[in-house]
């Protein structure tokens, strides 16, 4: 989830799966054989250009992270301005997340084929233009369409930003420090997003949340002009798998979102469900027949891969669902301003950042499985803790009840990411990372769809507290199921 950066996901470029032995017996990097196999040689990166590449990567990761959390705070203002119902607000969030999830599967291969700098430039340019389209949207339909473009751009930016760092820093120690800064930047952006979104919404309107991306995008593009071009290498693009994945996810999201508004037996909802099933089956067939599939079927049969993917899905379902409902709860039920609602997320963000730093050390000491199980149990407790929330719940108690929401995912995600990376060969690290991020984003998107359908109600300003509690119990049940799965299926150490 962009709003919750975990330990940096290895990508194909980070692990250099294309490296092969040279005549001297050393591992030859793709950049060292760039004039073979259809690749192009990069320009050597000096300390200055490496620093510019890091700043550009950090700014890009920051802006796509801020965009997610800031928009959540702006939802009530968007609803009033564009006269949208709850369904429209769900699509504003999910249009971005679904495209991010689906295209993440092949975005790493695109960065390899075109070069990290070129892919990153394309992604930032598209994100900036899409942000302008969001700010100028005259209605909810145009806003959702622009959010689709934003999500597609973010899917390109995410892996390309890490690949850009990898190409800029040959020294392993310097590269590790650069990636650490990249991760911290995401954590700071997650904390700043709600506050910034609230401040902009209250002072200049919700459109300012998107307009903020324009100067940042311009600065990034100016920096990239002075960054040496990156090497390109052959990488298979599974177009059939990518298209069927996008259609399947869109159909599933439409089913869950509109089922709560149009009725589960309505024609459009049943048609969307059928399309999702057919596209999912087509995806499976395409992947089984492709010479180099986007998602190798054999990988999914390994429980050390399948279980972390399921856990990532459940954890993000809890986190994204919780953030979505809290942003609406603070403003529509408690009557808070946008800036006050944003400030309510600051303690939670600080705890998430601190827990992300502690989790790897805990995993080294007690093992990854206990940490993954504990994180899910804490998250389950977070869902149960939010059940008593009401319009008159004291603010201090609300903040206390949200502490488990801060800890659960930050505790589990670094450990399950490390476990997944150890379970796959080096040449599959990028594929596994993209698959994990896609599953996490899908969990968040479907959770928002579920909560949005349940939250709609005439009481409490269109926010149904009973519906909220049903959603919380459903996500808690999902977390308990993946907790049991983790306990039984994951290796002990």
36-45 residue pLDDT tens = 344 444 444 5
338-366 residue pLDDT tens = 889 888 888 887 888 788 778 888 888 88
194 inside domain: yes
23 inside domain: no
One domain for residues 157 and 258: no
The pLDDT of residue 478: 94
- With 0-12 / 13-18 / 19 or more C-beta atoms within 10 angstroms meaning exposed / middle / buried, residue 396 is exposed
Look at residue 8 and tell me whether its pLDDT is greater than 90. Answer: no
67 inside domain: yes
Domain that holds residue 271: 239-291
Last residue of a domain, one of 272, 291, 310: 291
Last residue of a domain, one of 232, 264, 282: 232
Could you tell me which residues are beta bridge partners of residue 28?
20
Residue 55 and residue 220 in contact, taking contact as beta carbons nearer than 8 Å: no
17 inside domain: no
One domain for residues 64 and 88: yes
The conformation of residue 20, written as its DSSP 8-state character, comes to E
Query: Residue 152 and residue 138: Cα distance in Å, rounded?
Result: 21
Instruction: Strands of 209-298 (E only): list them.
Output: none
Give the mean pLDDT of 447-451: 84
Phi, psi of 475 (to 5 degrees): -70, -35
Residue 136 and residue 144 in contact, taking contact as beta carbons nearer than 8 Å: no
One domain for residues 450 and 370: yes
The pTM of this model reads 0.77
Query: Residue 10 and residue 130: Cα distance in Å, rounded?
Result: 27
Output the DSSP codes for 330-393. Answer: IIIIS---HHHHHHTTHHHHHHHHHHHHHHHHHHHHH-HHHHHHHHHHHHHHHHHHTTT--TT-
One domain for residues 148 and 1: yes
24 inside domain: no
One domain for residues 172 and 269: no
One domain for residues 64 and 141: yes
One domain for residues 125 and 200: yes
Tokens of 336: 């808070």
One domain for residues 376 and 483: yes
Q: What kind and span of H or E run contains 168?
A: helix 140-168
Percent of the chain residues topping a pLDDT of 70: 84
Query: Residue 403 and residue 345: Cα distance in Å, rounded?
Result: 11
Longest dimension (CA), the chain: 73
One domain for residues 147 and 173: yes
One domain for residues 283 and 300: no
One domain for residues 268 and 350: no
113-164 residue pLDDT tens = 778 888 899 999 999 999 999 999 999 999 999 999 999 999 888 888 877 8
5 inside domain: yes
Query: Residue 130 and residue 128: Cα distance in Å, rounded?
Result: 5
The pLDDT of residue 232: 66
> Average pLDDT, whole number, for the chain?
80
Question: What residues contact residue 23 under an 8 Å CB cut-off, 6+ apart?
Answer: none
Percent of the chain residues topping a pLDDT of 90: 22
Query: Residue 280 and residue 138: Cα distance in Å, rounded?
Result: 34
Question: What's the domain count of the chain?
Answer: 3
Query: Residue 104 and residue 439: Cα distance in Å, rounded?
Result: 10
36 inside domain: no
Residue 408 and residue 382 in contact, taking contact as beta carbons nearer than 8 Å: yes
One domain for residues 190 and 271: no
Instruction: Assign residue 86 the CATH number of its domain.
Output: 1.20.1250.20
225 inside domain: yes
The conformation of residue 490, written as its DSSP 8-state character, comes to S
The conformation of residue 459, written as its DSSP 8-state character, comes to S
Look at residue 68 and tell me whether its pLDDT is greater than 90. Answer: no
């Amino acid at each position: 989830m962009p709003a919750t950066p975990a330990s940096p996901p290895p990508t194909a470029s980070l692990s250099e799966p294309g490296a092969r032995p040279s005549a001297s017996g050393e591992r030859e990097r793709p950049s060292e054989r760039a004039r073979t196999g259809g690749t192009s040689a990069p320009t050597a990166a000096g300390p200055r250009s490496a620093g510019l590449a890091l700043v550009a990567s950090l700014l890009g990761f920051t802006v796509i992270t801020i965009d997610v959390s800031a928009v959540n705070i702006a939802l009530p203002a968007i609803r009033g301005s564009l006269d949208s119902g709850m369904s429209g607000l769900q699509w504003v969030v999910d249009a971005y997340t679904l495209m991010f999830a689906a295209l993440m599967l092949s975005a790493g291969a695109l960065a390899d084929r075109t070069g990290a700098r070129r892919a990153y430039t394309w992604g930032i340019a598209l994100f900036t233009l899409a942000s302008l389209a969001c700010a100028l949207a005259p209605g909810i339909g145009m806003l959702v369409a622009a959010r689709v473009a934003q999500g597609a751009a973010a899917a390109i930016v995410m892996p390309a930003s890490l690949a850009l760092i990898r190409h800029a820093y040959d020294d392993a120690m310097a590269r590790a420090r650069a990636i650490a800064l990249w991760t911290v930047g995401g954590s700071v952006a997650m904390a700043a997003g709600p506050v910034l979104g609230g401040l902009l919404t209250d002072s200049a309107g919700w459109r300012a949340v998107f307009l903020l991306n324009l100067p940042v995008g311009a600065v990034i593009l100016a920096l990239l002009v002075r960054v040496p071009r990156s090497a390109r290498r052959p990488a298979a693009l599974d177009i059939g798998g990518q298209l069927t994945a996008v259609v399947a996810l869109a159909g599933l999201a439409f089913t869950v979102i509109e089922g709560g508004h149009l009725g589960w037996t309505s024609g459009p909802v049943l048609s969307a469900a059928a399309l999702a099933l057919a596209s999912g089956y087509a995806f499976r067939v395409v992947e089984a027949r492709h010479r180099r599939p986007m998602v190798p079927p054999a990988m999914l049969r390994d429980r050390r891969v399948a279980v972390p993917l399921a856990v990532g899905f459940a954890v993000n379902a809890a986190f994204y669902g919780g953030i979505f409902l809290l942003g609406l709860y603070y403003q529509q039920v408690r009557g808070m301003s946008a800036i006050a609602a944003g400030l309510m997320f600051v303690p939670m963000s600080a705890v998430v950042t601190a827990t992300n730093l502690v989790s790897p050390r805990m995993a080294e000491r007690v093992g990854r499985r206990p940490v993954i199980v504990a994180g899910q149990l804490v998250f389950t407790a977070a869902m149960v803790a939010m059940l008593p929330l009401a319009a008159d719940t004291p603010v201090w108690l609300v903040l206390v009840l949200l502490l488990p929401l801060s800890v659960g995912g930050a505790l589990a995600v670094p450990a399950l990411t490390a476990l997944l990376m150890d379970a796959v060969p080096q040449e599959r690290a990028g594929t596994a990372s993209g698959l994990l991020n896609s599953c996490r984003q899908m969990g968040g998107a479907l959770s928002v769809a579920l909560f949005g359908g349940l939250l709609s109600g005439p009481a409490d300003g269109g926010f149904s507290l009973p519906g909220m509690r049903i959603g919380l119990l459903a996500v808690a049940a999902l977390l308990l199921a993946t907790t049991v799965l983790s306990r039984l299926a994951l290796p002990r150490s």
